[in-house]
Amino acid sequence: MNDQWTAADVPDQRGRVVVITGANTGLGLATARLFAARGASVVLACRDPAKAAAAASTITAATPGADVRCAECDLASLDSVRRAAADLPAVDVLINNAGVMSREHRRTVDGFELHFGTNHLGHFALTTLLLERLRAAPGSRVVTVSSVSHRQGMIHFDDLQLERGYRWRAAYAQSKLANLLFAYELQRRLAASGAPTISVAAHPGNAETDLIREMGAQRRMLGNPVLRRVTSWLVQSAEMGALATVRAAVDPQACGGEFYGPSGWKEFTGAPVVVRSSRRSYDEEDQRRLWSVSEQLIT
C-alpha cells in the first residue's frame, strides 16, 4: 500500500455525490475543497446555513464551476437530521466529519450529552436514514471520522449521558470511540447483507482545527504558526489531516472496516495509511450493544 499518498493521488470524482457534515470549516472544509477540485458534486451539511454558504463561496472561488450545495443539518437535533436526510439527493459518499468539543456539560436539543449526542448519535441517525440511498449507489462508502482521543475512551453503557460525573475529555473520548464501534458494526451489517457499500473510518492526527481552542494552553501552543518549524512533527495542517478521510473515501484498494490515519509518530502527523485502533474499538459485543442502544435512543 502506498505510504506516501497525497492529494495528487485522488482520482477523478465526476459523477459522484459526496455529503460532508461540518464542511464549513477545518477538516470538513479541506475535504470539501479537494472533492470539489476533483469534480465531485459536494453537499456541505452544516448547522449554520450562513457559514455553509460562505464556505461554498470560498470553494467555488478556488474551483470555478464547482458543483457545491448546502444542506442545513444540525447533528445536535434529530429533527434537523431527519429534515436534512429527507432533502438530500442520491449519495455516493457520506463523510461523517462534524465534531464538537465542550468543557461544559451541555445537552443536545433532544437531551443527550452534547459529545455523545452530536458526534455519535447525530451521525448514526443520518447514516441510517441515508443507508438505502447509499446501498443503491455502486462503489458507495460511509467514512466516519474519529480521533486519536478514542484510545482514552470508554463506553459508559450504564451512564451514557455522563450524569454521574462529567469530565469533558472523557466525554469527547467516549464519543470518538463510539464513532469506531459504529463504523465497524456498520461494515459487518453491510457485508452480511451483501450490500455494495463499505464503511471505513479515519482520523486526522493532530490537525489544526477549531477544536484546538477548546484545549489547554499547551495544546493551543502546538497550533501556533510562529512555532511551526518546531512543532511540525506534532501538529499538521487541516489539509494534511483531511487526507486520511479522503483516502478512506476514494482509494480503490480500501476495504470495509479499515481505519486510516497519519503515518508519523503516534499517528500525530504524516501521510495517511491504514492504522490500528484501540483494543476496545474491536469489541464486537460492544459494537452490537451500542448499535442497539443507539437505535432505541433515536427512535
Give one DSSP letter per residue of 115-174, joined into a string: HIIIIIIIHHHHHHHHHHHHHTSTT-EEEEE--GGGGG----TT-TT-TT---HHHHHHH
Q: How far apart are CA 70 and CA 46, in angstroms?
A: 7
Residue identified by cell 495517511 is 272
Q: How far is CA 29 from CA 25, 45, 139, 294, 299, in A?
A: 5, 11, 23, 28, 31
Q: Which three three-digit cell numbers place residue 3?
A: 505510504
Residues near 11 by beta carbon (within 8 Å), at least 6 away in sequence: 38, 250, 252
- The CA distance from 258 to 275, in Å, is 8
Closest to 119 (Cα-Cα) out of 164, 165, 163, 168:
168
3-state helix, strand, coil in the chain (%, to 5): 50, 15, 40
What letter represents residue 156's amino acid?
A: H
The backbone region for 73, taken as left when phi is positive above 0, alpha when psi lies in -120 to 50, beta otherwise, is: beta
Residue with cell string 451500542: 290
Catalytic sites, residue numbers = 172
